[in-house]
Amino acid sequence: MTSVRVGIVGCGIAGRKHIDAFQSLGSLASVVGICDENIELAQRIGKRWDIEVFGDHSELLDFGLDLFVIATPHATHHKLAIDGLNKNISLLVEKPLASNLSQAKEIAAICAEKKLKCAVGFVHRHRMEMQAAHRHITQQDCGEVVYMTDTFWLSGGERLPEWLWKDTEAGLGVLGYSAIHRIDWQGWLANSRVASVYAQTNRSGIYEGSIHGVVANLMFASGAVGSVVGYQPNVDVNNPFISTVIAGSQGLINIKLGQSFEICTSEENYRKNVVQDNQFVKQARDIVNAIVEDREPCSSVYDGVHSAAVVEAIVQSAKTDSKIDVKD
């Protein structure tokens, strides 16, 4: 395979970031086709990049693709993923992998059967500060991970797509948009699966009944404990608050996403500002190399399945006010 042929469905904010990322890889990959239900938008983007534009994703899938990138509303992920896999094409699916655990497991089963790759868009794993944290934790510079906390306060409500707040479109609100990233990277950093959860959700806001806020305690199989606390009100948050703290038996890591990385141990203590890099480019390179090298991508379909199981457990826990075991 000389160059991976990429097709992208969805030309919104995420879709455009994927187009830019894959087009930056030079001879490794090229975006050969795109489609969007807004055909005029797709045509403008296609003209800019000299990319073929298709009116329907089924036509795009017949264009000799090696990789199908899905950057559409959550409720569409399952069907698009199955259609791509049935054409023997590997996938990059924006998070969440699917609307529910059952759909996510079906995608994983077909991937395994056909021996295809499927990356899930947990793009923050590729950030410089998260990579640094993962490296230090893997080297046990902070000892064993004891607890992790993630807190965020971001713009929400009308500042985000309306479908995100609709249960009928599997939007999941804050849980499916922002909290799911924290759930994923905590497990990745701790190198452990979530065993059980206890959670509460805030469903009062401009979109009544949708999840505008979440407080989730995550109990990991390793014994580590995590917490995710987030709220996205219907206001413009000009200075978002995004904090990650990982406490180990011998040290602590403090991350301000997109701003700084700090580590404190008995052996070292330093803080550095984050140099802005493009995590979408790193993610694109990872899935392309996974296809070429026949290996699993950094965030695989199995990570997508597990995050779906954790999300379902959080929703159930909030409804029943009880601790729920996570069952992939």
45, 121, 154, 65: which is closest to 282 by C-alpha?
A: 121
Q: Tell whether 268 and 131 lie within a shared domain.
A: yes
How far apart are the C-alpha atoms of 45 and 57, rounded to whole Å? 16
Q: Tell whether 63 and 119 lie within a shared domain.
A: yes
Q: Is the peptide bond before 96 cis (omega within 30 degrees of 0)?
A: yes
**52, 58, 63, 64 alpha-carbon torsion, rounded to 10°:** 140
Q: Which domain CATH number covers 244?
A: 3.30.360.10
Q: Tell whether 118 and 132 lie within a shared domain.
A: no
pLDDT of residue 1: 61
Q: Tell whether 78 and 170 lie within a shared domain.
A: no
pLDDT of residue 259: 93
CB 282 within 8 A of CB 18: no
User: Counting runs of H as helices and runs of E as strands, what totals does the chain give?
Assistant: 10, 15
Provide the token pair at 119: 């990356």
Phi/psi of residue 58, nearest 5 degrees: -65, -35
User: Quick one: 37 exposed, middle or buried, by C-beta within 10 A (0-12, 13-18, 19+)?
Assistant: middle
Q: Which domain CATH number covers 93?
A: 3.40.50.720
Q: Tell whether 179 and 319 lie within a shared domain.
A: yes
pLDDT of residue 201: 95
101, 112, 65: which is closest to 84 by C-alpha?
A: 65
pTM: 0.95
Q: Tell whether 177 and 73 lie within a shared domain.
A: no
How far apart are the C-alpha atoms of 258 and 278, rounded to whole Å? 11
How far apart are the C-alpha atoms of 118 and 299, rounded to whole Å? 9
Q: Tell whether 62 and 137 lie within a shared domain.
A: no
Q: Tell whether 59 and 137 lie within a shared domain.
A: no
| CA 66 to centroid of chain Cα atoms | 21
Domain count across the chain? 2
Cα angle value 190/299/156 (rounded, 5°): 85
Residues facing residue 319 across a β-bridge: none
CB 74 within 8 A of CB 171: yes
CB 196 within 8 A of CB 326: yes
Q: Which amino acid is at 257?
A: L
Q: Tell whether 216 and 320 lie within a shared domain.
A: yes
Q: Tell whether 172 and 224 lie within a shared domain.
A: yes
Residues facing residue 228 across a β-bridge: 150, 216
Q: Given the structure tokens 């009308």, which residue do they identify? A: 158
Beta-carbon-side half-sphere exposure of residue 304 (alpha carbons within 13 Å): 36
Could you list the beta-strand ranges (E) of 204-266.
213-220, 225-231, 241-248, 251-256, 260-265
Q: Is the backbone of residue 83 left (phi > 0), alpha (psi -120 to 50) or beta?
A: alpha
3 state DSSP class of 241: strand
**Mind listing the pLDDT tens digit of every residue in the chain (328 residues)?**
679 999 999 999 999 999 999 999 999 999 999 999 999 999 999 999 999 999 999 999 999 999 999 999 999 999 999 999 999 999 999 999 999 999 999 999 999 999 999 999 999 999 999 999 999 999 999 999 999 999 999 999 899 989 889 877 777 899 999 999 999 999 999 999 999 999 999 998 888 789 999 999 999 999 999 999 999 999 999 989 999 999 999 999 999 999 999 999 988 899 999 887 899 999 999 999 999 999 999 999 999 999 999 999 999 999 999 999 999 8
Domain that holds residue 317: 124-274+308-325
Q: Tell whether 145 and 57 lie within a shared domain.
A: no
β-pair type (90-93, 118-120): parallel
66, 64, 49: which is closest to 15 by C-alpha?
A: 49
Q: Tell whether 249 and 292 lie within a shared domain.
A: no
